[in-house]
Structures are given as structure tokens and as C-alpha cells.
């Protein structure tokens, strides 16, 4: 595990980076660990935080897939967050304010719930 990845994940979860450069590293975590990770990243300076590069819902399950860029030319990370259907996930907008639009998208199209995500105010505004 590289120093950068170690700093990003701390001792919250174990990451096995695949051999060969440029290969996607997959990490699977529970919703509780994901919440701890978000808190850990909040304490890091902005330059040391991983960058958000994608947010999607796994099609057949209630998993949240988060693509992260660890920076410093490291390969992408795919964080899979296991969650029960209908359970509220920790909001990503606390770390990445721009993530709110993707949260909104996942709520509308994937039925996922996030803490701190405001109501469908934009949709209501458009109706008026």
C-alpha cells in the first residue's frame, strides 16, 4: 500500500492494490466504515483528500459505488459501500459540496437516501 493510500484510509480499512500500474483498486466497506472515512477525510487538508470522480448505484443491489482519485498520479479507487435497501447513507456533500447533484440523481433514479440532502426543492420550483 502506497503512503498516499495509507494516509487516505488510515487504519479504517485494508486496501489491496493490484499489481500493474493504472489498474483500478477496489475497496468494499460497510456504511458505518464509510461514515468514519468521510469524517477522517474531513479532517484532512483539501489537497490531501481524495477527489470524487464518480458516484453511481450498482444496478442489482443497494450498493453505492464511489470512484475516487487518490491524486499524485495513483490509480483510481472504487469504493463499494454496502447498505440495506431504504437505509440512509452518510451525505458526501460534507466533503465534496458539488456531490449534492449526484446524490440527488441517485435519490431520483436509484431510490437512495443521503443525510443532509435537501428536499426536491428544484423540482417544485420548476413546477411553479
Partner 1 sequence: MATKLAYSPLHMAGSYGLGAFGLEIEDDGGLVAGARVSVGYGRREIEDAVRRLPLAQALNYADRVDFLASPAYNCALASAFEELLDLEIPERAHCIRLILLELNRISSHLQFYVNLAREVGQLPLMNHCLRERERFSDVLEMYCGSRLGFGAICLGGVVADATDGWFFRIEKALGLLRDFLPELDRLLLRHPFYEERTRGLAVVSPQHAREWNLQGPNARASGLAEIDERRAKPYGAYKGQAMKEMSLAGGSSGDALARSRIRAAEILQSGALIEQVFRKIPSGNFRIRVGMEVSPPPGKAVASVEGPRGVITAFAESGAGSFPASVSFFSPSAMAVQLLPRLLRGHQVEDAFLVIHSLDISFSEVDK
Instruction: List residues binding partner 1 (CB under 8 A).
Output: 24, 26, 46-47, 51-56, 58-59, 65, 67, 69, 71, 73, 76, 78, 96-98, 100-102, 104-105, 108, 122-123, 125-127
Minimal distance in Å, beta carbon 99 to partner 1? Answer: 9
Handedness of CA 86, 87, 88, 89 (dihedral sign): negative
Phi and psi torsions of 118, nearest 5°: -65, 170
Which ranges in the chain belong to alpha helices (H)?
A: 3-9, 31-43, 100-110, 121-127
Q: Helix or strand or coil: residue 8?
A: helix
- With respect to partner 1, which residue has the nearer C-beta, 34 or 96? 96
Minimal distance in Å, beta carbon 11 to partner 1? Answer: 25
- With respect to partner 1, which residue has the nearer C-beta, 1 or 24? 24
Minimal distance in Å, beta carbon 112 to partner 1? Answer: 14
Minimal distance in Å, beta carbon 59 to partner 1? Answer: 5
Q: Got the DSSP string for 76-105?
A: PEEEEEE--TTPEEPPGGGT-GGGHHHHHH
- With respect to partner 1, which residue has the nearer C-beta, 32 or 53? 53
Joined together, the cell numbers standing for residue 109 give: 433514479
Distance between start and end Cα atoms, the chain: 53
- With respect to partner 1, which residue has the nearer C-beta, 32 or 72? 72
Amino acid at each position: 500500500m502506497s503512503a498516499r493510500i495509507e494516509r487516505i484510509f488510515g487504519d479504517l480499512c485494508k486496501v489491496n492494490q493490484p499489481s500493474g500500474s493504472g489498474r483500478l483498486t477496489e475497496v468494499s466497506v460497510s456504511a458505518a466504515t464509510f461514515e468514519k472515512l468521510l469524517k477522517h477525510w474531513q479532517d484532512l487538508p483539501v489537497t490531501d483528500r481524495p477527489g470524487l470522480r464518480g458516484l453511481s448505484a450498482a444496478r442489482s443491489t443497494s450498493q453505492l459505488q464511489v470512484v475516487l482519485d487518490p491524486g499524485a498520479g495513483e490509480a483510481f479507487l472504487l469504493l463499494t459501500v454496502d447498505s440495506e435497501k431504504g437505509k440512509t447513507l452518510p451525505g458526501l456533500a460534507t466533503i465534496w459540496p458539488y456531490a449534492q447533484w449526484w446524490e440527488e440523481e441517485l435519490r431520483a433514479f436509484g431510490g437512495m437516501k443521503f443525510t443532509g440532502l435537501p428536499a426536491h426543492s428544484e423540482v417544485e420550483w420548476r413546477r411553479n
